[in-house]
Amino acid sequence: MEKQELQLLKGFERDSQWFHNNIDKLRKKNFTGKFVAIANEEPIASDKNIDVVIKTLEKEDKNPAYIFIEFVYPKGFTLLL
Amino acid sequence: MKIPLQVYLFAGGLRAMARFLISSEKPHIFGSIEAIVDTGSPTTILGVPDLKRMRVSQIQLRDLESRKEPHAYGGGQLKTKILQGAKLRFGEYFECVMPIQIPVDEITACNQPTILGVDFMEVNKLKFVFDPIKREAYFESSEQQNI
């Protein structure tokens, strides 16, 4: 179980890294303002509403809890926490 | 002991990010998380998108203790419940069990990410090192912890 957990995390880390390194490409491909799910270093689902993205993943028998999903903020937008 | 973090230009600024597995037995929660390290936040708060990804329903949260005062969060107010026994696992580096805040239903439209706050560093006796020029960040402890 422990090994499986670490593998899940490694896949998630890889897809997170891909997202951050390719954020400009994602913006150019019209993902701005949407949640994007990334798996194996490519976008597999997107929508303005994360619930739609989650349902799309579930329909494909994927568990969204293990999949990297992030919102693509517009360039120049600053998120204050 | 060092816990490496990632530094990315995200949502208008350089952010130190931590990735970890989160789990809890009751309510059952398990999933992978990317959190922004925020030394301006006293508490660790699970983001609504992450809560949704892990399919945690408000019904599952009903028995958790409510935090009396709302948090100011992303320009609004956020009511939370306290998940006492959340286990956070940072790969092969580190794991801990600590309370984290979970948003409740009034803010389900919120896009704010998960925040790793000062409580995480305090509970685990960690220093936070952030070099935006070299784009390096990590947590560091002088204590050894075996997992």
Q: To probe the interface with A, which of B34, B89, B95 has the most A CB atoms within 10 Å? A: B34
User: How far, in Å, CA of B82 to CA of B99, rounded?
Assistant: 6
**Which one-letter amino acid corresponds to residue A55?**
K
| pLDDT score, position A2 | 80
| A9-13, B54-58, B114-118: least confident range | B54-58
Q: B5 to chain A: nearest residue by CA?
A: A13
Residue B65 has pLDDT above 90, yes or no: no
pLDDT: which is higher, A4 or B146: A4
Asked if residue B70 has a cis previous peptide bond (ω within 30° of 0), the answer is no
Flag whether A35 is in a domain.
yes
pLDDT: which is higher, B67 or B14: B14
User: How far, in Å, CA of B105 to CA of B103, rounded?
Assistant: 7
Q: Would you place residue B72 in the very low, low, confident or very high pLDDT band (cuts 50, 70, 90)?
A: low
For B2-140, the fitting CATH number among 3.40.50.1820, 1.10.390.10, 2.40.70.10, 1.10.10.10 is 2.40.70.10
Q: Would you place residue A3 in the very low, low, confident or very high pLDDT band (cuts 50, 70, 90)?
A: confident
What pTM did the predictor assign? 0.90
User: How far, in Å, CA of B87 to CA of B55, rounded?
Assistant: 17
Query: What are B95-116's pLDDT values in tens digits?
Result: 999 999 998 865 556 788 999 9
Residues 6+ apart with CB under 8 A from B128: B16, B37, B39, B121, B137, B138, B139
Please report, rounded to a whole number, the percentage of residues in chain B having pLDDT higher than 90: 64
Q: Would you place residue B145 in the very low, low, confident or very high pLDDT band (cuts 50, 70, 90)?
A: low
Structure-token match 């949640």, residue found: A35
| pLDDT score, position B59 | 77
Q: How far is B146 from chain A (nearest CA, A)?
A: 15
Flag whether A13 is in a domain.
yes
Query: What are A11-20's pLDDT values in tens digits?
Result: 999 999 999 9
Q: For A12, which of B9, B32, B40 is closest by C-beta distance?
A: B32
* Structural domain boundaries in chain B: 2-140
Q: For B31, which of A17, A66, A80 is closest by C-beta distance?
A: A66
Which residue range is the domain that position A60 belongs to? 2-71
Flag whether A46 is in a domain.
yes
Flag whether A11 is in a domain.
yes
The mean pLDDT value of chain B amounts to 88
Residue B73 has pLDDT above 70, yes or no: no
Flag whether A77 is in a domain.
no
User: How far, in Å, CA of B3 to CA of B104, rounded?
Assistant: 30
Contact B74 A81 (CB under 8 A): yes
Residue B75 has pLDDT above 70, yes or no: no
What are the DSSP E strand ranges found in chain A?
A: 35-39, 42-47, 68-71
Return left, alpha or beta for B120; rule: phi > 0 is left, psi -120 to 50 is alpha, else beta.
alpha
Residues in chain A: 81
Flag whether A78 is in a domain.
no
Q: For B32, which of A9, A17, A78 is closest by C-beta distance?
A: A9
| pLDDT score, position B110 | 73
Residues 6+ apart with CB under 8 A from A39: A11, A15, A62, A67, A68
Size of interface A-B (CB pairs under 8 A): 83
How many domains does chain A divide into?
1
pLDDT: which is higher, B116 or A78: B116
